[in-house]
A and B are shown apart, each in its own frame.
Chain A
Amino acid sequence: MATHANDHYFVPNPVLYPAILSSGVLTMALGFILNVNEKMAAHGLGKWLMIAGLLVICYMTFRWLSSVVDESLTGKYKAWEDKSFRIGMITFICSEIAFFAAFFGALFFMRIIAVPELAEIDPDYTMYKEFTSAWPSLGPGGMSMSADGLKEYVQPANFQAMKPWGLPAINTALLLASGVTITWAHWGLLKNNRKQLIAGLFLTVALGIAFLICQGIEYHHAYTEMGLTLGAGAYGGTFFMLTGFHGFHVTLGTIMLIVILLRSMKGHFTAEHHFGFEGVAWYWHFVDVVWLGLFVFVYIL
């Protein structure tokens, strides 16, 4: 740090984006709440509020990031600022890991504690005579609760667990390959080989999109043929929430990749100065690693 003593740290001008962004967040939240509550008077409004909020969020994020790109291009960021972004990005990824940890925790808890406990209630008094502890589990059945009241929980009759060695294995290969291609692109950037950079990024984006398509097919298959739905007991819930949030992160990652692909094509980034690229690459690796966890704990085991 001694080197910074005479530097000026870049403090951006006052901006209105964050406050507008927050109002977008509020609008979207209100819309969502209305949308999921059928009993609300203004129920129909919810959808529109959500769309409006989302648009505000997207637009403001875009404006915000554009100004960051501008500042970056006009040389406002030096090594000092760059380090801030790096530490910030790492911390942010840590918080994302913690978010996934909650869902992995739920999976382990249900699988190792809740389902066996339900199956092993004192046989003299158990309410679930036939229920045995096995994974995947749909639970012992019975009435279940939602905000709309008690509902009979009808277990899907033709339920099957997702097999790992079909599409999921292909998806694993896709993501692992994308990890390689993005590193290859990075090497290109470091060597100032723009072609390699762009080709690598392009491949990564393509692999990301291919992954999402495969996941779409997998979901469709699960819903239409396997009786595997969000409501399919402990297994269905954890399966879709984990893979779904992962898929959502892949989507975000792919969009980010597309952005840096476009920026690379416009000639942004230099071998010395390319935090934008690296931040996205780190994010992508994180998404990759989460998938490996999913593949092992959700699909294989």
Chain B
Amino acid sequence: MSATTTAHHDEHHDVPKGMMRWFTTTNHKDIGTMYLTFSLIMFLIGGAMILLVRAELFEPGLQLMKPEFYNQLIGVHALVMIFAALMPAATGFANWMLPLQLGAPDMALPRLNNWGFWLLPPAAVLLTIPFTLALFGIGDGAIATGWTFYAPLSVQGGIGVDFAIFAVHILGISSVMGSINVIVTIFNMRAPGMTLMKMPMFAWGWLITAFLLVATIPVLAGAVTMLLTDRHFGTHFFDAAGGGDPILFQHLFWFFGHPEVYILLLPVWGFMPQILQTFSRKPMYGYKAQVYSLIAIGALAVVVWAHHFFTVGMPVPALLYFMYSTMAISLPLAVLFFCWIATIWKGSMSFETPMLFAVGWIILFGIGGLTGLVLADVAADAQYHHTYFVVAHFHYTLFAGGIMGIMAGVYYWLPKMTGHMYNETLGKTHFWLTAISFNLTFIPQFFVGLAGMPRRIPDYALQFAEFNAISTVAAFVLGLSQLVMVYNIYSSVRGGKKATNEVWDGNNSLAGSGGLEWTLPSPPPYHSFTEQPVIK
């Protein structure tokens, strides 16, 4: 690989200072940093909201809030976590790492990239401001329909629904812009000689995510547009009186919503094998099989959506089709699991924080995935549907599979991004606290769910009290544990042991197959690769 220079481009002698640097930047690392910071802040906000909810659920009876406010909190929690915490985190990594991994000078469309980010704060404002407005007696608070916007509840709902509709529109534009950028970067900015089949797995994960986003986000935009016209302009899309159907909304929403869950995880499935190979000092197993599995998941993702509303009363053939196709997703995922485990098998493993998260992630995400598989069974889903069993399932996939995966990535790449090692002891403490309190939060939810506790209720029957109490206490521990990570990131940004180019000694032994990012200094120069390396 050819050497890289740190020389500045001539266009770039005038990088503004202070806040203006961040408003105006077209640099992929700056934008990546903004995405990641935004994501962290929104994660704390979304978490703080749900801590209120958990406090309310600590014991039966209404303790802290009115049911309407409860409903607003859960919906906004979910929207914030999914759209403003998890997705931006993945996009932040894409911005930081794709150019580095592909050997590119920057993302392909830097100005668009900047816009993609700067659409997020307005969306976050739209999501959260109704709470504030309600304090001043304007409107009746945020969207109170859960994150799924189901009509006709959302048609009946207050002004919060309108805010959420526009927030989703703006988030959607942002995601589509981000995806265009990723697709273009991957197709057009790879280092010479890097064929698609030599690309780092992270790029593959993101490529498929980007395609899914381009195909499904506009459908969600269409769905909420119909909702808006049903609300204010007299159309009848979701209204039987005019020949419409509330189920139409569910179809449109989940046509987006199911692929969305893979959109959230595909980038993680991308970089996780890279982490595993670094710390087992052994190249990843079954690169091709993994790529094909990722593609298969992407394809299956858009044809299984109706498993989210088996209980609406669909015809039997539809039930069967959606059940079997949903089950089929477990096959490519099984291949992925197989490859991950075969990657660490007979490796020479060491357990720094990223590896702890990665291994824990395989196990916990496995629980999420396997419970997903039983949810796919139509008859049993009548019992699981909209109970805490589902809540537990999707926190195992979203929190363990998503957030903990992202955390593995954070610890993995943080030294590369900041140039300093983080505090390993704190990192490990964070992992163990998170893993244990996470399980204590959500395992009880499997049981209350099976025993019959519906989700989205502010108050519950007495038989569920014990489990909810445990869950609440554990959730607070879980929340507080995250502050350890916040502190650790902060101190790594401020200083600490210098990181080498390879950062992890495991990367030495991989001799380049780990990814081009490890060939650059830590932190990398402002312009990553002014000359593209050539891959043989």
Contacts and interface: CB of A to CB of B under 8 A. Distances in A.
Contact of B179 (A14, A22, A91, A113): A91
B9 A8 contact: yes
Contacts of A5: 192, 531-532, 534
Given A8-B105, A102-B221, A26 B184 contact: no
A1 B446 CA distance: 51
A118 B215 contact: no
Contact of A230 (B218, B234, B240): B234
Contact of B218 (A39, A102, A137): A102
Contact of B236 (A1, A88, A233): A233
B26 interface: yes
Given A16-B23, A19-B24, A144-B241, A11 B235 contact: no
Interface in B192-237: 192-194, 214-219, 221-223, 225-226, 228-237
A84 interface: yes
A87 B187 contact: yes
Interface residues on A, range: 35 or more
A117 interface: yes
A143 B244 contact: no
A234 to B, nearest CB: 3
Contacts, number: 279
A102 B237 CA distance: 12
Nearest to B170: A25
From DSSP, what is the main secondary structure of chain A's interface residues? helix
A95 B176 contact: yes
A231 B188 CA distance: 47
Interface stretch (B155-163, B272-280, B349-357): B155-163
Q: Which one of A80, A91, A101 has the highest number of Cβ atoms from chain B below 10 Å of its Cβ?
A: A91
Given A18-B114, A145-B155, A102 B219 contact: yes
Contacts of A8: 9, 105, 530
A9 B104 contact: yes
A301 interface: no
Contacts of B23: 16, 19
Contacts of B26: 11-15
B116 to A, nearest CB: 8
Contacts of A103: 222, 226
B229 A94 contact: no
A234 B236 contact: yes
B459 interface: no
A241 B226 contact: yes
Given A13-B12, A36-B232, A95 B217 contact: yes
Q: Which one of A139, A145, A232, A233 has the highest number of Cβ atoms from chain B below 10 Å of its Cβ?
A: A145
Contact of B111 (A12, A29, A36): A12
Interface string B382-409: 0000000000000000000000000000
Contacts of A16: 20, 23-24
Contact of B219 (A10, A105, A141): A105
Interface residues of B, number: 96
B119 interface: yes
Nearest to B162: A33
B152 interface: yes
B232 A11 contact: no
B184 A153 contact: no
B138 A94 contact: no
B111 to A, nearest CB: 5
Contacts of B532: 4-5
Q: Which one of A8, A9, A15, A100 has the highest number of Cβ atoms from chain B below 10 Å of its Cβ?
A: A9
A140 B527 contact: no
B106 interface: yes
Nearest to A84: B108
B105 to A, nearest CB: 5
A96 interface: yes
B530 to A, nearest CB: 7
Interface string B96-139: 00000000111011111011001101100110000000000011
Contact of B243 (A105, A137, A241): A137
B362 interface: no
Contacts of A37: 139, 159, 162
Contacts of B248: 106, 109-110, 114
A40 B241 contact: no
Contacts of B106: 9, 11
B219 A98 contact: yes
Q: Which one of A17, A21, A22, A42 has the highest number of Cβ atoms from chain B below 10 Å of its Cβ?
A: A22
A259 B75 CA distance: 43
A106 B169 CA distance: 18
B281 interface: no
Contacts of A229: 234
A237 interface: yes
A158 interface: no
Contact of A105 (B15, B16, B179, B252): B252
9 contacts: A8-B530, A9-B108, A18-B111, A84-B189, A96-B218, A98-B214, A99-B218, A145-B239, A146-B232
Given A1-B188, A12-B110, A231-B236, 6 more contacts: A13-B26, A15-B26, A25-B119, A84-B108, A98-B217, A138-B242
5 nearest interchain CB pairs? A102-B222, A139-B243, A234-B243, A18-B115, A231-B234
